[in-house]
Structure 1
């Protein structure tokens, strides 16, 4: 294997989406004058789980619309009646603004992308609306992106990965996909023939029936050594 392009899961793999999402949830509750002793991350995680279940369990709908439905469900379950005098479109915009704009890059992301950008075409494959992705912190590294909105499908659907390969004009075996999200990206990319480097930042465990990644690392940094070794094996010289 000698990759000719790199693709990425964006939120989680390259940026700390949990941080941005937790800040967003805190701002939503502040604007609603809701005080709670529940850890804000737990409220955000409740939203995240509901959000993923929704977009995986129904026909395609825009991420923004799914996020609004999940946010309303969280508020109704935890604080019944609290959103009665608040516009959900506005609360959702507040939440998503923080989620996409305030999610900081992981420490290893920019150094790795700085190194990789001059060597490979780079493309995120993300379960996000295109306009929301454009507001994130690392867009300068990517000339192209493939979003769920473009594919009208969410990962792990093979449709979004197939569209990314079409836009890269490369066969699956020439692309290395780097991702933290095992269920979305290993499950979606492997059946197409893409190699996957699982960036297992949280020391998670794969499910019994899940396909296994080709490589597993705790951070992005070792992917550079992997690519150097693959290049040396193929060409006899390191990049």
Structure 2
């Protein structure tokens, strides 16, 4: 493996989407005057599960619409009638604004991207809508992005990974993909022949039948060591 470009899962791998999502859910509950003993984080996770199940279980619909449907279903299941008199489009916009704009970069993300940007083309491959991704905090590092909206398909569909490779004008074997989300990215990228570095920030366990990544780390930082080693080897030096 001697990568000519790096691709990334964006939300979770590079930015802490759980933090932004929790802030967004807290604001939704505040606007609805919902009082609950549950944490906003737990409510956000309920939404997240519903959201992923929806977009994986139906024909492509843009992320914003899936998020609205999942949010309405979650609120109705937990607090029937709470959203009466409130426009779901407004509540969804409030929630997604926090999710995309208030998800902070992980501590290792900017240093890694600073190092990598002068050495490789960099491209996120994300399930987010294109306009929502453009409102996030690390867009300055990326000239191009491939979104589910562009591919009309969500990860782990190979359609979105294939589109990314076409846009990079590279073969799968020439790209290293870095991702936290094993089910979306390992399962989607490996069958195409892409190498994958699993950034396992949460200490998760792979399913029995899932393909295995080429590398597993708990942060992005060791990926630099791998790439430095590959670059050094490519010069013909021995290490």
Band of TM-score, shorter chain: over 0.9
Aligned residues of 1:231 and 1:237 also touching (Cα < 8 A): no
**Cα-to-partner distance string for 1:16-45 (whole Å, 9 max, x where unaligned):** 000000000000010111111101111000
Q: Which runs of 4+ in 1 moved over 6 A?
A: none
RMSD value, Cα: 0.9
**Cα-to-partner distance string for 1:33-75 (whole Å, 9 max, x where unaligned):** 1111101111000000000000000000000000000000110
* Match in the other structure for 2:120: 120
Aligned to 2:206, the other structure's residue is in SS state coil
Mapped to 2, the partners of 1:188 and 1:231 lie a distance apart of 26
Report how far residue 236 of structure 1 moved. 3.0
Mapped to 2, the partners of 1:228 and 1:14 lie a distance apart of 20
Mapped to 1, the partners of 2:50 and 2:160 lie a distance apart of 21
* Match in the other structure for 2:168: 168
Report how far residue 197 of structure 1 moved. 0.1
* Match in the other structure for 2:20: 20
* Match in the other structure for 1:84: 84
* Match in the other structure for 2:192: 192
**Cα-to-partner distance string for 1:86-106 (whole Å, 9 max, x where unaligned):** 000000000000000000000
Aligned to 1:6, the other structure's residue is in SS state strand
Aligned residues of 1:51 and 1:67 also touching (Cα < 8 A): yes
In structure 2, stretches of 5+ residues that fail to align are none
Aligned to 2:225, the other structure's residue is in SS state helix
Report how far residue 230 of structure 1 moved. 1.0
Mapped to 2, the partners of 1:202 and 1:171 lie a distance apart of 30
Report how far residue 233 of structure 1 moved. 1.7
- How many residue pairs get aligned? The number is 238
Mapped to 1, the partners of 2:234 and 2:173 lie a distance apart of 14
TM-score by length of 2: 0.99
Mapped to 1, the partners of 2:89 and 2:155 lie a distance apart of 25
* Match in the other structure for 1:57: 57
Aligned to 1:98, the other structure's residue is in SS state helix
Mapped to 2, the partners of 1:69 and 1:8 lie a distance apart of 27
* Match in the other structure for 1:68: 68
Aligned to 2:86, the other structure's residue is in SS state coil
Aligned to 2:61, the other structure's residue is in SS state coil
* Match in the other structure for 1:96: 96
